[in-house]
């Protein structure tokens, strides 16, 4: 785990668990894994958006491919988006020094 990144400190992981709980609920209702729900959500955004997950393990590749078969209704997408917008994510993605290095 990258404990030096603000989003992955123990405090941030604890605070952000509520978002994971939402994703796990969707995964259970769709008989899918949380990773598949995340990929299926990205796929549902726009037809021209294609997630490119990386893996070196065959089972993970199979799992990732399975995300393409997970449909979301309009209401389900709204429910997932609404739930995620109500949750305040704790911790930035990068340290301040790393963020400056991105040039953004």
Question: Hey, what are 93's tokens?
Answer: 């993605």
pLDDT value, residue 94: 87
- Work out the mean pLDDT of the chain and round it to a whole number: 90
Query: Does residue 28 lie in a domain region?
Result: yes
Left if phi > 0, otherwise alpha if psi is -120 to 50, otherwise beta: which for 31? left
pLDDT 10s digits, 86-98: 988 898 888 888 8
The pLDDT of residue 29 is above 70: yes
CA distance 77 to 26: 10
Domain of 11, in residue numbers: 6-102
CA distance 18 to 21: 5
Contact 90, 17 (CB under 8 A): no
Query: Does residue 1 lie in a domain region?
Result: no
Cα-based torsion angle of the residue sequence 35, 41, 42, 47 in order, rounded to the nearest 10 degrees? 140
Average pLDDT over residues 53-72: 94
Number of domains forming the structure of the chain: 1
Q: How confident is the model at residue 1 (pLDDT cuts 50, 70, 90)?
A: low
CA distance 35 to 77: 16
CA distances from 58 to 27, 31, 40, 41, 62 (A): 21, 20, 19, 22, 6
Query: Does residue 49 lie in a domain region?
Result: yes
The pTM of this model reads 0.81
Query: Does residue 64 lie in a domain region?
Result: yes
């Amino acid at each position: 785990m990258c404990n030096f990144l603000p989003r992955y400190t123990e405090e941030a992981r604890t605070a952000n668990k509520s978002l994971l709980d939402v994703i796990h609920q969707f995964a259970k209702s769709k008989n899918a894994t949380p990773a598949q729900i995340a990929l299926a959500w990205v796929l549902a955004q726009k037809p021209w958006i294609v997630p490119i997950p990386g893996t070196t393990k065959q089972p993970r590749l199979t799992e990732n491919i399975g995300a393409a078969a997970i449909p979301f209704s309009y209401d389900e997408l709204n429910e997932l988006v609404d739930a995620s917008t109500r949750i305040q994510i704790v911790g930035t993605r990068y340290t301040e020094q790393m963020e400056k290095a991105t040039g953004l």
